[in-house]
Chain A
C-alpha cells in the first residue's frame, strides 16, 4: 500500500522504502523545503534504513533541490542506512555529472537494479 504525503509517495518493497516524487518540477523554494522535511522524516522519525528515490516523475529540478538530497544522504549515512537513486532522466543525470554528485550518490538506471543492490548488500 502506497503512502501519500504532500510531495512524495512511499511504498514498502521488500523492506525498502521506495519513494516517488509527486512534483514534476522541483524548483519552488517552499516545495523544496516541504519536500526536504518529508524526506528527512523518513530517516529521523521513522528510522527507515533503506531508501530508494525513484525520479520517474521528475522532469526538472534546481540546485536547491540537490542541496536537500545531499542533506538527506548525510542523515541516512549518519543513521547507518543506505540511499539509492534511480530512474533519473538524461537531462537531470547531466546535472549530477556536472556537479560530480553522480560520484556521491549510488544511481541506477531502473528501480529493479537498485532493489537488487539493496538485496545484495544484506
Chain B
C-alpha cells in the first residue's frame, strides 16, 4: 500500500506509565471509530494494542518511568499498522508457552501474545524482541 493512502499517522514516545499508554491507545481507537470500522475489528485492534503497550511498559521497561515506549501507528480505510518498541532487553516470542495447552490453562498470565496473533492479520518481532510490528487488514469496511 502506498504511503499516500494513509489517512492518519502518529509517532509518539511515551513514558512507561499506563495512564499515558491508555490515553494514546484511545486516541488510535477513536480514529478507527471515525473511519467506521466495525466494532468487532476495532475491539481486536484495541486489544492487540493494549497487550503490546502493557507488555512494553511492564515487561520490557519494567515500569521504569525513565524508559520510553515508542508507538507509531498508520491508519488507512482498510488497514491499521502499529509499531510498539520498548527499551528493555527484549524476549524471544518462541519461548512464550502456548497458553492453550492443557497444562497452561490454569496459569494466570501468558495470553497477551496469543490474543495479539489472533486479532491482527500480521505480527512480527524484531530479532532482539523489543519491537513488535502488527497490522490489521480488512477486506472491506462492514459496519455493524
B-contacting residues of A (Cβ < 8 Å)?
27-30, 60, 62-64, 66-68, 70-71, 74, 90-91, 95, 98-101, 103-104
Expressed in whole angstroms, the minimum distance between the Cβ of A75 and any Cβ of chain B is 12
Interface of chain A, main secondary structure: helix
Residues of A within 8 A of B105 (CB): 100-101, 103-104
Interface size class of B (residues with CB under 8 A): 20 to 34
Q: Enumerate chain B residues within 8 angstroms of A100, measured Cβ to Cβ.
A: 99-100, 105
The answer to whether A66 touches B111, judged by C-beta atoms less than 8 angstroms apart, is: yes
Known A91-B39, A99-B115; judge A63-B22 contact (CB<8 A). Answer: no
Report the Cα distance A30→B39, complex, angstroms.
Answer: 26
B89 within 8 A of A: no
Bound complex: CA of A49 vs CA of B134, how far in Å? Answer: 43
In the complex, given contacts A63-B51, A99-B115, what are 6 additional A-B residue pairs having Cβ atoms less than 8 angstroms apart?
A: A62-B47, A90-B40, A98-B115, A98-B118, A99-B114, A104-B106
Q: Is B8 an interface residue (CB 8 A)?
A: no
Query: Which residues from B are CB-within-8-Å of A60?
Result: 43, 46-47
Give chain B interface residues in 68-126, CB to chain A under 8 Å.
99-100, 105-109, 111-112, 114-115, 118
Min C-beta distance of A122 to chain B, whole Å: 27
Interface SS, B side? helix
B27 to chain A, nearest CB (A): 15
In the complex, B54 has a CB within 8 A of chain A: yes
Q: Specify which chain B residues have a CB less than 8 angstroms from the CB of A62 in the assembled complex.
A: 47, 50-51, 54, 112
Complex Cα gap A74–B106 (Å) = 8
* Chain A residues within 8 Å of B46, by CB: 60
Answer yes or no: B18 CB below 8 A from chain A CBs: yes
Q: Which residue of A lies closest to B118 (CB)?
A: A98
Closest 5 CB pairs of A and B: A67-B108, A63-B111, A91-B43, A63-B112, A100-B100
Residues of A within 8 A of B100 (CB): 99-100
In whole angstroms, how far apart are the Cα atoms of A101 and B106 in the complex?
9
Query: Which residues on A sit within 8 Å (CB–CB) of B106?
Result: 70, 74, 104
